[in-house]
Amino acid sequence: RYNGSNYISATPLHVISSLDFSREWNTYEYPLGGNYYGYYDIAIGNIDGVAGNEIVAAYDWLYDLNLNIVDGVTRTLKSTTKKDLEPALSIALADFGGSGINSIVGTSQNQLHIIDGSSLNILWSSIVLAGTSASASIDTADLSGDGVPDLI
């Protein structure tokens, strides 16, 4: 896309109504970043404790993990961050502390990473999960029944 002076690589997000399958809104109005391949994964939930959900979009730019956080209510880009990790092919959200505020879970470099939703700082990284494809897919659920989400 051309913004008047430069070509920018911007991948829009589209929100489609589940009632009539019409497009409710998209992010064409402002560049979100992204790359020519689009976003690798998105997750939706409250990550900052403020009313309303955010859209977390993971993408690759210059071989690094990048996240865009879009406010689901105002439909504006709240923040973006770049981490010195390989791109995350999968992300999920989970409330690990029982506060009602989700952290971002991502996979990169055959490791799992938990990222604070408010500060976007990495809170925890697993050991290298050798012999696995930890970057392929991730999900969270309380499998053990202890009230704390497990990483799958």
Stated pTM of the model: 0.81
The pair of structure tokens assigned to 70 is 């879009």
Going by C-beta distance under 8 Å and a sequence separation of 6 or more, which residues neighbour residue 3? 31
The pair of structure tokens assigned to 141 is 């659920």
Range from 15-19, 101-105, 116-120, 128-132 carrying the lowest mean pLDDT? 128-132
In Å, how far are 9, 69, 81, 87, 130 from 126, measured between CA atoms?
Answer: 32, 24, 20, 16, 11
Q: What is the mean pLDDT of residues 88-114?
A: 88
Instruction: Tell me what pLDDT residue 45 has.
Output: 95
The pair of structure tokens assigned to 79 is 């923040």
Instruction: Tell me what pLDDT residue 26 has.
Output: 77
Instruction: Tell me what pLDDT residue 91 has.
Output: 92
Note whether 57 and 13 are within 8 A (CB). yes
Number of residues written out for the chain: 152
